[in-house]
Amino acid sequence: MSLSWVSIVRLGLVQMALGAIVVLTTSTLNRLMVVEMALPAVLPGLLVALHYGIQITRPNWGFLSDTGGHRTRWIIGGMACLGLGAFGASIGVVLFATSFATGLVLSILSYALIGLGVGASGTSLLALLATATEPRRRAAAATITWLMMIFGIAVTAGTVGAFLDPYSPALLLRIVAVVTLGAVVLTVVSVWSIERRVKPCVPASEAPTFVEGLRDVWAEPAARNFTVFVFLSMTAYFMQELILEPYAGLIFGFTPGQSTQLSGAQNGGVFLGMLTVGIAATGLRVGSLRAWVIAGCLGSAASLVAISMAGAFAVAPALMPAVVALGVFNGMFAVAAIGSMMALAGEGREAREGTRMGLWGAAQAIAAGFGGLIGAAAVDVMRVALTDDSIAFGTVFLFEAGLFLAAALLAQKVIADRRSPASAPMVPGE
């Protein structure tokens, strides 16, 4: 059997729970360390980078979920590990006030747990979706799960922010405990019994070793090329994350509130782009996933050029539309790439879906950390080398646009001979 729409939504709830916990560590705890604890901003940055770096273990988690038919076990166990890590990280923030060394040690251990939990739960969840979703539903499944994750992030950030004022360490721990425990319970309820209804994985007794499984996947040209595509495109995706708001402030004189609204508008564009692809590719059967990926990459490149030109010619009114357009095309590219990933995961040697998803997840995680870091570092270097800040930022945005163009070319190669399941004609009687 394949996943019903109800089962897809249930798995989307798991993705929502995952996003709800992760946003606590990347947003709330980050702010508390820098503002309330008066710690250097590089400290939470390195801790977040650690959790991304730990996710290089994703291929191993995917391989483990491929063997024995126990993806549910890894989804629930990973979520529990993630929740424990997030609660430990919140205790670490509190401990910084009395003992920096103790708080640092606990924070390092906790963020390592967060990385392991995201890797185990997220990879196994995507592998289950990839193996059990009908081809014609994959674009919609990708859209549903990612929109629910964004919803979980937004709701958690807003709710926690409202309840955390006025701040106190005890209140922080209570709120984090409620969020993490609730996420674990929601995961158990949502994923329970779904795996039993779909095709089982290869029994552990018949499975190869991890090294053999990973070697088999890396030997597949499509999987190998798609790994490069994921790394390249996600590096481009995250390069502007740390420099867009400073760009708006330094070049256009945006206040902190205005620059925050700019980021909010960009995220709204991402949501719209994802929704567009989900409706068009699955509901209306317009275009293939490959076409949407390429269109998203090309549109993102064009938007970055517009953002760069807005600064070069001091056209402030053009910035907001260009940023919204960047969000729309980013969302189109992201959800279509996820749908393509789910389709590619089921191709090639059988019982390697989780290993493939893990390999691509590791590439995405490394690119997320690397992209933001290289974008910020490049701007710092260019501002020293050049006297005009608008040219410095604009040069980096143009370089990012070039990466998106390269990603579009690579996407054409990787999915060139594959017709998207979402756009394939219906078989009579389906």
Same domain, yes or no: 161 and 253 = no
Task: Using DSSP, state whether 202 is helix, strand or coil.
Answer: strand
Please give the tally of structural domains in the chain: 2
Tell me the one-letter amino acid at 282.
T
pTM, rounded to two decimals: 0.71
Close Cβ partners of 421 (under 8 Å, ≥ 6 residues apart) = 134, 135, 136, 138, 139, 289, 343
Same domain, yes or no: 165 and 229 = no
Same domain, yes or no: 156 and 257 = no
Cis status of the peptide bond prior to 169, with omega within 30 of 0:
no
Same domain, yes or no: 184 and 269 = no
Separation between Cα atoms, residue 129 and residue 357, nearest integer Å: 10
Task: Using DSSP, state whether 245 is helix, strand or coil.
Answer: helix
Same domain, yes or no: 187 and 221 = no
Same domain, yes or no: 285 and 182 = no
Inside any domain, residue 199: no
Inside any domain, residue 410: yes
Say if CB 124 and CB 62 are below 8 A apart. yes
- CATH number of 301's domain: 1.20.1250.20
Output the CA–CA distances (angstroms, integers) from residue 350 to 65, 66, 207, 339, in the order listed: 13, 10, 11, 19
* pLDDT score of 427: 29
* pLDDT score of 146: 78
pLDDT, averaged per 10 consecutive residues of the chain (430 residues), comes to 83 91 80 75 76 81 72 91 95 92 94 92 83 73 79 76 81 93 95 75 53 73 83 88 79 72 76 83 74 93 95 89 93 84 66 71 81 80 84 92 93 62 33
Q: Identify the CA nearest to 93 among candidates 37, 145, 136.
A: 37
Phi, psi (5° rounding) for residue 67? -100, 130
Instruction: Provide DSSP, 14-26.
Output: HHHHHHHHHHIII
Inside any domain, residue 349: yes
Inside any domain, residue 237: yes
* pLDDT score of 429: 32
Separation between Cα atoms, residue 272 and residue 286, nearest integer Å: 16
Inside any domain, residue 288: yes
Same domain, yes or no: 135 and 17 = yes
Question: What is the residue range of 121's domain?
Answer: 1-191
Inside any domain, residue 197: no
Same domain, yes or no: 47 and 136 = yes
Inside any domain, residue 127: yes
* pLDDT score of 306: 96
Q: Where are the beta strands (DSSP E) in 29-105?
A: none
Inside any domain, residue 428: no
Same domain, yes or no: 174 and 310 = no
Same domain, yes or no: 175 and 232 = no
Phi, psi (5° rounding) for residue 202? -70, 135
Same domain, yes or no: 158 and 298 = no
* pLDDT score of 32: 80
* pLDDT score of 183: 94
* pLDDT score of 207: 54
Rg (alpha carbons) of the chain, rounded to whole number: 21
